[in-house]
Amino acid sequence: MLLDKGPSAAFEATEPAVLHFNWSASEHWIPLALTAVAFFTWLLATRSNKYWAALIGLNAATLAGYTAWCACNQLWLPETANDLGAEVDGLFNLVLFLTSIFYFITQAVLIYTMVQKPPANGRAKPVHGNHTLEIAWMLVPAFFLAVIAIAQLPTWAKMKGQTSDSSIPVGYDPATDSSDLLVTVTGKQWEWRMRYADPAKAKPTNPLLWASTPAADDVHVVNELHAWQGAKVRLMLRTTDVIHSFFMPQFRFKQDMLPGKTIPALLRTDKTNINSDGTERCWEIACAELCGGNHYRMRGKVVVHATREDFMRWLSETKTKQTARKDSLAAATKPSDTPAGKE
């Protein structure tokens, strides 16, 4: 199998640069200043519970303010490249909101208890055995977990793309697969291998079987996922060794890849990352599961061409290069017809 590394060489590891501290650069001195402030605040807090309470309150207020500032300035999440991005962001914000409520409740209770005077006899009133309290702190979180579980079902069904209309994930049915492009993504230590079926030809009857049995005219590429704007891309996710996790931040997509299993997923490409001047915005593919010593090298990129014609042009050029390399390799390994000793 001949694979094209292509422009993905830009992701190859390079020699580490020598770092020089620069006091004029805010990204250098601010972390040190905050560390120093935190250290002296901790020294002060060790002298009294009230100082500890003030420190905890300041930490909670700072965290809330910084999170809100990042969200208002669009520093919280990267741009979205499909319609499911907004749904995933909504679920993310829902989980963040619910967990924040409990975070601030627990911090408030902690601060309240720390500023209270100690009991006269030196012992606090125990709450162990309070069945009403124990039932409450089991049922309330269970309720919110059920809300999250139900709310995510339609988005999960769309992301898997197993059926066209169902809002509940069900088994993959090739007969209902209406995707425009079929790609097998295989994770291995330490790269992504993409295999494309030619969209100009008839789609394989059984995409799951095709995922494990390559066709002769498939196009093979390493570390690059190509599609076109508006395409529905059927991904067949596989791994040849350990568990990998295929993560594309702009598409809000992350799926673990399990050995011996082909996992179907559907990618909707509603936005191109090719600018009007021909430059390309970097949409990275990363492995989100620690998979070995060179885990950091499992980096790739997504390229969404502006039109189907642009994609087909790229696919044709890549296939031509692949055929040329295959012919060159075949010619180099072909046995010579010249008898030994007659060269």
Please tell me which of 103-112, 171-180, 265-274 the model is most confident about, judged by mean pLDDT: 265-274
Average pLDDT, stretch 4-23?
49
Predicted local distance difference test score (pLDDT) of residue 74: 72
Domain residue ranges in the chain: 174-331
Percentage of the chain beyond pLDDT 70 is: 85
Q: State the Cα angle at 176 between 175 and 182, rounded to 5°.
A: 85
Q: What is the DSSP string of 124-146?
A: PPP-TT-HHHHHHHHHHHHHHHH
Burial of 78 (0-12, 13-18, 19+ CB in 10 A): middle
Q: Check residues 215 and 18 and name the one with the higher pLDDT.
A: 215
For residues 189-200, give the mean pLDDT.
92
18 vs 169, residue with greater confidence: 169
197 Cβ partners below 8 Å, 6+ apart? 181, 182, 183, 203, 204, 210, 215, 218
Of the listed ranges 120-134, 163-177, 180-194, 251-265, the least confidently predicted one is: 163-177
- Examine the pLDDT at 206 and tell me if it is beyond 70: yes
Nearest to 221 by CA among 314, 324, 329, 328: 314
Read off the pLDDT of each residue in 229-248 and give the average, rounded to a whole number: 94
Q: Is the predicted pLDDT of residue 212 greater than 70, yes or no?
A: yes
Which DSSP category does 12 fall into?
S
| C-alpha triplet 190, 275, 13: angle, nearest 5° | 25
pLDDT exceeds 50 at position 320: yes
Q: Give the architecture-level CATH label for domain 174-331.
A: Sandwich (2.60)
- Per-residue confidence band for 53, with pLDDT thresholds at 50, 70 and 90: confident
Calculate the average pLDDT of the chain. 82
The answer to whether residues 266 and 253 touch, using CB atoms and an 8 Å cutoff, is: no
Query: pLDDT-derived band of residue 272, with 50, 70 and 90 as boundaries?
Result: very high
Average pLDDT on 108-129 reads 76
Q: Read off the pLDDT band of 25 (50, 70, 90).
A: low
CA atoms within 13 A on the CB side of 166: 16
Mean pLDDT along residues 4-25: 50
215 compared with 185, residue with greater pLDDT: 185
Q: Which one is predicted more confidently, 32 or 210?
A: 210
